[in-house]
Amino acid sequence: MSSSLHLPPSMSPLLMLEPVGRAWENIMKSYSPATIEFAGTLIVQLVFFWGPCAIYLSLDKLFPRFSERHKIQPAPKQPTRSEILDCLGVVLKNQIISTALHGLLIYISTLTGKGAFRVEASLPSLHEIVRDLIFSLLLREALFYYSHRVLHHPRLYPKIHKIHHRFTAPVALAAQYAHPIEQIVANILPITIPPQLLNSHILTFWIFMAYELIETTTVHSGYDFFLNAAKMHDLHHEKFLIYFGAIGVLDWFHGTDGSKMAAKRKAKGAVAGKGVSQNKVDAGVKGEKSD
Ligand SMILES: [Zn+2]
Ligand SMILES: [Zn+2]
């Protein structure tokens, strides 16, 4: 049976899921690689972005006491209903733009014959999946950290990144509340470039994309779930000047993690207020209200 699936000799975790292998083979027989890449990526976006968003956003309606207990920032700082509706419109617009761009890139790749990902009947091995995920995770951190810091440059911040910082107490949907340039440069490219460099299997890319979408909605959720995974990015939205990365390694390396900043301010003692002003200039938020 398994020989008909065109599986590689190396072990794949998906081999353990025979129905998955069979379903994948049927999909490959029924649709073109371009259709599979476009439709599959859209489905991953719909399920793993809108799914967590719906869960996080409905918590305060369905379980208000539970929600209040786990919210990182207090109720008065939470966004209003109209702000969330505005957020919904911006996110929909961004996703339409990114989906259209993806469609265009796939169309170009069909003309050139060079696809960004491997869309093939063979399933990736466990070794390949783990290798690609680790590499993609680390490179995504670097691309996100540095593009994010560039967006905090005083010349770019007011025009582009200030939009994303409108939510000082973020909600999951605010993960893609951004200027279209930021959506492409800081949100999409750091996730798509690493697996493209590796010419990853499309299934590996979808696993990575699903993980990153769950991660970004969780760190914007405003809740302390999953060992307070949202704490760092929530602090970035609240304070602007700290935690530019997602994992925290580059924040530690560059001294932009919260503890080092606090120690610096403490050392400055009486002139702490002056130090904060300078930090705000560095962050590109000079003269911007933080509410
Ligand atoms: Zn920022
Ligand atoms: Zn954010």
Within-domain flag for 8: no
In a domain, 211, yes or no: yes
Q: Confirm whether 155 is domain-assigned.
A: yes
CA 265 / ligand 1 centre spacing (Å): 20
Three-state secondary-structure class, residue 223: strand
More confident residue, 261 or 184: 184
Compute, in angstroms, the gap from residue 165 CA to the centroid of ligand 1. 6
Does 288 or 259 have the greater pLDDT score?
A: 259
Mean pLDDT, rounded, of the chain: 86
Look at residue 16 and tell me whether its pLDDT is greater than 80.
no
CB 160 within 8 A of CB 181: yes
* Cα–Cα distance, 203 to 14 (Å, whole number): 10
Q: What is the DSSP letter of 122?
A: S
pLDDT for 13 equals: 56
Lowest mean pLDDT among 6-20, 64-78, 196-210: 6-20
Least confident of 53-57, 98-102, 166-170: 166-170
Quick check: 284 pLDDT over 50? no
- How much distance in Å is there from the Cα of 70 to the middle of ligand 2? 19
Domain annotation covers residue 289: no
4 within a domain of the structure (yes/no): no
Ligand nearest to the CA of 242: 1
239 pLDDT tier (thresholds 50, 70, 90): confident
Please give the tally of structural domains in the chain: 1
Q: Which domain does 258 fall in, by range?
A: 14-283
* 288 band by pLDDT with thresholds 50, 70 and 90: very low
Confidence of residue 6 (pLDDT cuts 50, 70, 90): low
pLDDT tens-digit map of 168-201: 889 999 999 999 999 999 999 999 999 999 999 9
Cα of 283 from ligand 1 centre, angstroms: 8
Q: How far apart are CA 208 and CA 203, in angstroms?
A: 9
The closest ligand to the CA of 217 turns out to be 2
Pick the ligand that lies closest to the CA of residue 244.
1
Q: How far is the CA of 232 from the centre of ligand 2 (A)?
A: 10
Lowest-confidence pick of 11-15, 63-67, 147-151, 287-291? 287-291
Q: How confident is the model at residue 271 (pLDDT cuts 50, 70, 90)?
A: very low
In a domain, 18, yes or no: yes
pLDDT at residue 164 greater than cutoff 50:
yes
The ligand with the least distance to the CA atom of 219 is 2
Q: How far is the CA of 188 from the centre of ligand 2 (A)?
A: 14
Least confident of 14-23, 76-85, 132-141, 268-277: 268-277
Q: What is the pLDDT of residue 285?
A: 40
Residue 140 has pLDDT above 50, yes or no: yes
User: How far, CA to CA in Å, does 46 sit from each of 12, 49, 148, 176?
Assistant: 26, 6, 25, 13
Neighbour count for residue 119 (Cβ, 10 Å) = 20
Where residue 230 falls among pLDDT bands split at 50, 70, 90?
A: confident
Kindly provide the b/e burial profile for residues 141-160, where b requires at least 16 CB atoms within 10 angstroms of the residue's own CB. bebbbbbbbbbbeeebbeeb
Q: Please give the model's pTM, rounded to 2 decimal places.
A: 0.84
Question: Which ligand is closest in space to the CA of residue 230?
Answer: 2
Return d(Cα 31, Cα 179) in angstroms, integer. Answer: 34
Average pLDDT over residues 42-56: 97
Does residue 215 belong to any structural domain of this protein?
yes
**What spacing in Å lies between the alpha carbon of 54 and ligand 1's midpoint?**
24
CA 175 to centroid of ligand 2, rounded, Å:
6
Greater model confidence, 192 or 114: 192
1 assigned to some structural domain: no
